[in-house]
Chain A
């Protein structure tokens, strides 16, 4: 395999891992193997979706957190709250209160990612309106980094359809840095931009972006980590109304269908939950959804509100978000002057072409792949087909592939092992009975 460095935000704490098969069975890219009593992540395959974090009963799968001390490295610190953050707090009636609390805990400015989402929504709408060549497949949202990575791994043919607009997080980071540099006459390198994230995939996106050269985000803090501090800080908050620049259109992006609604095209589809997204992408790939203009796919059930690093139950958070946005203007610019810089079309465009990641293919060479497939099929015929995962591979087929690649042996299958032990014990009895002594 080509040597490439893979940065990941999902990690395993070996001490906590019991070596069970829960994560193994839930990984959408078959990136986990269990051996030596412990799970291992195949880094080439991992898309940082965080499914393993959510399913691990022992909390052995964790996200690599950026320590909040990193903030101290910068003269001016800007918080970029994901709209998901708004749904985490019981009794929160006014978003400004929360934004104010971010200032109270040490940030110098706040720029809402929901506002970034509003820039992005407009830009995506333009892409759809100006799309003259239609290849029978919709444009695909680039908002969920786990889905973009899933497409790189499992649906490389669809990469050209992923919309070439930067993510709301990046748009917000860009606008925030510009604003701070203008208003506080700061040098860009003195400004530290911190995204407050519902998921590990966004952490990876900030550290190792796929579609831009370098992220404008300097650090990522999980919602889980900052929740307590914010909750405390909100108790005695003043109000800085001017911090709230996003309307319900942008805030809605936190949940499934919010982006679709914000982009506002008639034939669009929003799907959440990575298995459901895989099914939808299969249909798109087969050309079954040829009338579709836009597809929003989110790895987590409930959208970002269901992210592995959130505090609140996604359904509760969704209801809170509904109440919060009920009385919010669609766009704040309709009701007040916004203190923010313009972002050009050029700035909102991605700069690096998404590359396929063919790590699930048996081999890069077709003839070799064919040979391997033939061997896989032969081995598979002798496996029980239970897909129990006891061997440490997620399915019998995956074990057969691992055997062909030299990472496992057929006797890793406990049913094969048992049959073999049975045969050998019979043999031993036979031998012992046939001897004269």
Chain B
């Protein structure tokens, strides 16, 4: 089965590169001729998670996979982990710094937005170790 598997590394505080990984993901899906609605949902989630890695994590990566029936985004960081996942998943809650908020980010909509846009959404976190997010998007046959 043919498979696209690309890894995008995202660095902490690297606002200069913000949006580049998600733009590449979108471009790939466009080249493939993926359904535009799915493409849009994937690119929204990819952008949100890319920003989360920059703002909140100590750095991490996005593994972008496409096979014949689905798109997968597997996101892994190297900490610091999320102490209360339920709280983190609620809209409007954010630990973003004042500085980041001044840049227009940190509205607390990132994770809920990802959950809303993905067909399957799983998040796991261990404080002091890492957070992993797995998002899946079905492609119409």
Query: What is A's interface to B at a CB cutoff of 8 Å?
Result: 154, 156-157, 282, 285-287, 358, 360-364, 366-367, 369-371, 373-374, 377
Contact = CB atoms under 8 A, between A and B. Distances in A.
Interface in B4-46: 4, 6, 23, 26, 28, 30-34, 36-37, 39-40, 43-44
20 contacts: A154-B30, A157-B36, A157-B37, A282-B23, A286-B40, A286-B43, A361-B30, A361-B31, A361-B32, A363-B33, A366-B32, A366-B34, A366-B139, A369-B33, A370-B2, A371-B2, A373-B4, A374-B2, A374-B4, A377-B4
B31 A373 contact: yes
Contacts, number: 57
Contact of A367 (B2, B30, B31): B2
Contacts of A361: 30-33
Interface-central residue, A287, A358, A370, by most chain B CB under 10 Å: A370
B124 interface: no
A369 B4 CA distance: 11
A362 B40 CA distance: 19
A21 B84 CA distance: 55
Nearest to B32: A369
A364 B2 contact: no
B4 A287 contact: no
B32 A370 contact: yes
Majority-rule SS of A interface residues: helix
B3 A287 contact: no
A29 to B, nearest CB: 13
B137 interface: no
A154 B36 CA distance: 11
Interface-central residue, B4, B32, B40, B43, by most chain A CB under 10 Å: B32
A370 B68 contact: yes
Contacts of A286: 26, 40, 43-44, 47
B62 interface: no
Majority-rule SS of B interface residues: helix
User: 7 tightest A-B contacts by CB?
Assistant: A157-B36, A361-B33, A371-B2, A370-B2, A369-B32, A374-B2, A362-B31
Contact of A377 (B6, B33, B68): B6
B4 A364 contact: no
A374 B3 contact: yes
Given A286-B47, A369-B31, A373-B28, 12 more contacts: A157-B36, A157-B37, A286-B44, A287-B40, A361-B31, A361-B32, A366-B32, A366-B139, A370-B3, A370-B32, A370-B67, A373-B2
A165 to B, nearest CB: 24
B35 to A, nearest CB: 9
B100 to A, nearest CB: 18
Interface residues of B, number: 23
Contacts of A370: 2-4, 32, 66-68
A355 to B, nearest CB: 15
A369 B26 CA distance: 15
A287 B44 contact: yes
Contacts of B23: 282
Contacts of B3: 370, 374
Contacts of A358: 33
A373 B36 contact: no
A378 to B, nearest CB: 11
Given A286-B43, A370-B67, A373-B28, A156 B36 contact: yes
A274 to B, nearest CB: 17
B31 A285 contact: no
Contacts of B4: 370, 373-374, 377
Contacts of B6: 377
Contacts of B66: 370, 373
Contacts of A377: 4, 6
B122 to A, nearest CB: 24
Nearest to B68: A367
A287 B113 CA distance: 13
A362 B2 contact: no
A362 B44 contact: no
Nearest to A369: B32
A152 to B, nearest CB: 13
A154 B66 CA distance: 21
A106 to B, nearest CB: 49
Interface string B67-100: 1100000000000000000000000000000000
Contacts of A364: 33
Contact of B33 (A285, A362, A374): A362
A187 to B, nearest CB: 47
Contacts of A369: 31-33
Interface string B35-63: 01101100110010000000000000000
A374 B4 CA distance: 6
A294 B37 CA distance: 21
A395 B80 CA distance: 39
Contact of A360 (B2, B31, B40): B31
A157 B40 contact: yes
